[in-house]
């Protein structure tokens, strides 16, 4: 089946009459994949450790591994240029073909990964224990492997004429067209609409929270603090809770939020094999964590352990009160504060 798929894709390119010069697109693809792999590894290196197990963290690791294997395979084909394996002849042309197959695979993963991640956090976000759970870790690993296998099998069984490549890419003169996924676009649009709606609903709270913003020195680190309001009505507490989620999320991912706005407004067409990356997944992960916190807010206890779920956003610094004993006396507040 895989051989038939590869042959059909090969026929697809020549059917449209494009002259394929493998050296230029092959080198460009290798450089792009090298940059993506380095970015993935950098994000995995700087993320916070000692967090609770989650499906998204395991999938990000698997994505980095798949990208690394893809890069090594493409470089192997590029280096040997023309060779035979199991009766299949590989040339530089197949570097583009391999990237196309993975582009379609990546392009159909956004919805399933977001759905499974949201369900995972909805069921586990209120659990405060960070102790390693072998069964849960094994479940995540098996789920990630089955997800990759099922999506790849689905893609390989698709007819070449129904994969969904944009014909405009063929007509524009590109020698190596790629699948453009609409899933990431609609996910970005949905998240931006929710963020804007939250800003509209909590604008007065956001302004009131940002106005007393100050810098303090806490445990040899410069941090921001906002006044803590322990007593409030149920309606005000819910609005205040949403405001802290919004400020904490946007405060950490502001450049990425702005980038997503540009992509949506300008309708930028990004190949799916580039768009599915670790930074995008961690951005989506933080958003889904915030949604899970909001949905399960009545069951969440304000303890430090329950907030340790995000590799990049320190949610507990926006919600767990403490007394800044190490702060500068000129900046040290007289009331209880939270860091954000």
Lowest-pLDDT range, 22-26, 68-72, 164-168, 241-245?
164-168
Q: What is the pLDDT of residue 3?
A: 38
| Percent helix, strand and coil across the chain, each to the nearest 5 | 65, 5, 30
Q: Where are the domains of the chain?
A: 2-177, 186-339
Rounded-to-integer distance, Cα 81 and Cα 23, Å? 10
Q: Which residue has the higher pLDDT, 301 or 291?
A: 291
201, 242 contact by CB (below 8 A)? yes
Of 98-102, 223-227, 324-328, which one has max mean pLDDT? Answer: 98-102
Q: Helix (H, G, I), strand (E, B), or coil: what is residue 232? A: coil
**How much is the average pLDDT of 183-205?**
92
- Contact residues for 218 (Cβ-Cβ < 8 A; gap 6+): 324, 326, 327, 339
pLDDT score recorded for residue 129: 61
pTM assigned to the model: 0.79
The answer to whether 283 and 189 have CB atoms below 8 angstroms apart is no
| Pairwise pLDDT comparison (146 vs 82), residue with the higher score | 146
* Total number of residues shown for the chain: 340
Between 337 and 298, name the one with better pLDDT.
298
Q: Tell me which DSSP letter residue 119 carries.
A: H
């Amino acid at each position: 089946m895989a051989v038939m798929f590869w042959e059909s894709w090969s026929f697809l390119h020549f059917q449209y009459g494009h002259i394929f010069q493998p050296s230029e697109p092959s080198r460009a693809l290798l450089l792009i994949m090298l940059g993506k792999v380095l970015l993935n590894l950098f994000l995995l290196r700087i993320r916070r450790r000692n967090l609770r197990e989650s499906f998204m963290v395991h999938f990000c690791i698997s994505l980095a591994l798949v990208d690394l294997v893809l890069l090594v395979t493409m470089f192997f084909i590029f280096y040997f240029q023309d060779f035979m394996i199991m009766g299949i002849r590989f040339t530089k042309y197949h570097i583009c073909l391999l990237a196309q197959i993975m582009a379609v695979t990546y392009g159909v993963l956004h919805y399933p990964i977001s759905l499974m991640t949201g369900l995972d956090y909805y069921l586990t976000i209120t659990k405060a224990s960070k102790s390693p759970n072998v069964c849960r870790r094994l479940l995540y690993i098996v789920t990630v492997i089955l997800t990759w296998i099922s999506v790849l099998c689905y893609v390989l069984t698709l007819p070449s004429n129904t994969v969904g490549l944009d014909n405009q890419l063929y007509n524009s003169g590109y020698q190596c067209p790629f699948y453009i996924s609409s899933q990431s676009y609609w996910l970005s649009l949905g998240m931006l609409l929710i963020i804007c709606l939250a800003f509209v609903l909590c604008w007065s709270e956001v302004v009131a929270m940002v106005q007393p913003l100050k810098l303090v020195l806490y445990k040899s680190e410069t941090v921001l603090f906002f006044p803590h309001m322990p007593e409030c009505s149920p309606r005000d507490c819910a609005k205040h809770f949403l405001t802290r989620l919004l400020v904490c999320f946007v405060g950490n991912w502001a450049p990425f939020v702005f980038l997503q706005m540009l992509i949506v407004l300008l309708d930028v067409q990004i190949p799916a094999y580039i768009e599915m990356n670790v930074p995008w997944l961690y951005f989506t992960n933080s958003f889904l964590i915030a949604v899970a916190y909001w949905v399960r807010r009545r069951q969440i206890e304000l303890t430090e352990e329950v907030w340790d779920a995000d590799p990049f956003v320190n949610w507990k610094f926006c919600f767990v009160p403490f007394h800044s004993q190490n702060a500068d006396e000129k900046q040290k507040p007289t009331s209880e504060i939270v860091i954000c």
